Structure 1
Amino acid sequence: MATSADVLVDAYERIREVVHEAADGLDEQALTYRIDPGANSIAWLIWHLTRVQDDHVADVAGTEQVWTAQGWYDRFALPIGKDATGYGDGPADVARIQAPADLLTGYYDAVHEQTLHYLRGLTDADLDRVVDTFWTPPVTLGVRLVSVIGDDLQHAGQAAYLRGVIQRTR
């Protein structure tokens, strides 16, 4: 019988599949391609969805983000602050996110492993814990984890779409 944690692990595994399908094998020109000057790139989309997952899961788990704990911020060497997640980024911010596919997916995989480690320790009762009282109603752990899944799948799907556009135009 599957537990809630098993279902969450499955959902996060699906994100990983789409991230790799969208980025693997692309050069930096393809990763930074933008349909128009105001659009997001594959690099930004994957970086952002990973940063959001890292930020939100670390927060509910009470751990340091993989971004800083494992040195990914330094490896990326981006002209951004350590706390940047991409939330509210404009076109100039999107343009700053440039990285090779193996760096993007490497960071994603590290966050993914940290996420799975956390999820596998959860019980069904844990999902009712309130993790954010800023919202009405307050946000529970289950709602926060599903919110990350929804956001990440949207951005991963956008990256996959862009990959298709790029491949058809080359």
Structure 2
Amino acid sequence: MNSAGILADAFERIHEAVHAAVEGLPPEDLNARTDDDANSIAWLVWHLTRVQDDHVADAAGTEQIWFSDDWASRFELPLEKGATGYGHSSAQVGSVTVGSGDLLLGYFDAVHEQTLGFVRGLDGRALDRVVDEAWSPPVTLGVRLISVIADDLQHAGQAAFVRGVLERRQ
């Protein structure tokens, strides 16, 4: 398997985990917080998708799906349009609510497809391209994609945990 195949497989695993955490849940469970400062499934999935969308679009030189397909208006969040959830306060986390899992999964699936299209076209040399010089050492495309994968898997796992807690309460 080449590097593009490995990256695509990792993003497919994120896809499976996100769908398993969201599918079949009513809005009250998607928006539930296990305590006043906890992250909801809605926020976790929205955030991991926003970060993936932001980072992959930047690396690919494309517009974020959030803007190009007007997901920002569909979500109707009381946040800055370009917010990704990074550094959100508890109140901001609580403001990310959805009326259905279809909204979350629709946005996630659109970003997932754009991501797969990008990573499947990469070769090993492309992964060495510097995409962010604000860090020391500068961040390469390979490091950026692995960072997105790691962050997404952590948040998808957190969403699955929250789902399990909520299901045990019922």
TM-score normalised to structure 1 length: 0.98
Determine the structure 2 residue equivalent to 1:74.
73
Q: State the secondary structure of the residue aligned to 1:36.
A: coil
**Offset of residue 35 of structure 1:** 1.1
1:17-166 to structure 2, matched below 5 A, reads: 17-99=16-98, 100-166=100-166
Q: Deviations over 1:47-79 (max 9, x none)?
A: 000000000000000110000101111111111
Q: State the secondary structure of the residue aligned to 1:105.
A: helix
1:6-21 to structure 2, matched below 5 A, reads: 6-21=5-20
CA distance in 2, matches of 1:38, 1:167: 20
**Offset of residue 151 of structure 1:** 0.2
Gap regions ≥5 residues in structure 1: none
What is the identity percentage for the equivalent residue pairs of Structure 1 and Structure 2?
62
CA distance in 2, matches of 1:143, 1:125: 13
Q: State the secondary structure of the residue aligned to 2:35.
A: coil
CA distance in 2, matches of 1:76, 1:39: 20
Equivalent residues, number:
169
Q: State the secondary structure of the residue aligned to 1:137.
A: coil
CA distance in 2, matches of 1:113, 1:82: 22
**Offset of residue 15 of structure 1:** 0.3
TM-score normalised to structure 2 length: 0.98
Aligned alpha-carbon RMSD (Å):
0.6
Q: Deviations over 1:77-127 (max 9, x none)?
A: 111111100000011001111112110011000000000010111111000
CA distance in 2, matches of 1:67, 1:121: 22
CA distance in 1, matches of 2:93, 2:102: 19
